């Protein structure tokens, strides 16, 4: 099973989903803006990605710029910010066999299939 954390309004996310469908992946599609991710799950995803929480933040989002940019905040506070404001989460995220990747560009997901 391949899981994609998907935002249908994002062109990169749509391209990534189309690529996974072309590869006939058995998909679980998580529309994370409709069904927010828990702190525990987001922490697990960040660990699978092998990155720092700040590296998963969409830093050009108004929410980030107005509320968090330039402030000295902990990794846990960053994770909480992403859970409270899922729009801040970079997308799409694809997980398969305990490996995860951010699908930017969408072709990067082929690396974990």
Q: Domain spanning 2-112: which CATH class is it, in words?
A: alpha beta
Q: How far apart are CA 92 and CA 95, in angstroms?
A: 10
Q: What is the pLDDT, as a whole number, of residue 70? A: 94
pLDDT along the chain (113 residues), means of 10: 96 97 96 96 98 98 96 97 97 97 95 92
Q: How far apart are CA 102 and CA 48, in angstroms?
A: 11
Could you tell me the residue ranges of all domains in the chain?
Answer: 2-112
- Compute, in degrees rounded to 10, the torsion defined by CA atoms 32, 49, 104, 21: -60
CA atoms within 13 A on the CB side of 50: 4
Q: How far apart are CA 84 and CA 1, in angstroms?
A: 27
Q: What is the pLDDT, as a whole number, of residue 9? A: 95
Q: What is the pLDDT, as a whole number, of residue 31? A: 97
Q: What is the pLDDT, as a whole number, of residue 78? A: 98
- Enumerate the active-site residues: 10
């Amino acid at each position: 099973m391949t899981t994609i954390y998907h935002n249908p309004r994002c062109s990169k996310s749509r391209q990534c989903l189309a690529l996974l469908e072309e590869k006939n992946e058995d998909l679980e599609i998580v529309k994370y803006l409709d069904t927010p991710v828990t702190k525990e799950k987001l922490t697990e995803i960040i660990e699978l990605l092998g990155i720092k929480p700040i590296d998963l933040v969409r830093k050009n989002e108004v929410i980030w710029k107005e509320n968090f940019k330039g402030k000295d905040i902990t990794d846990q506070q960053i994770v909480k910010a992403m859970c409270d404001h899922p729009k801040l989460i970079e997308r799409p995220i694809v997980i398969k066999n305990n490996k995860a990747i951010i699908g930017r560009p969408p072709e990067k997901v082929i690396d974990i299939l």
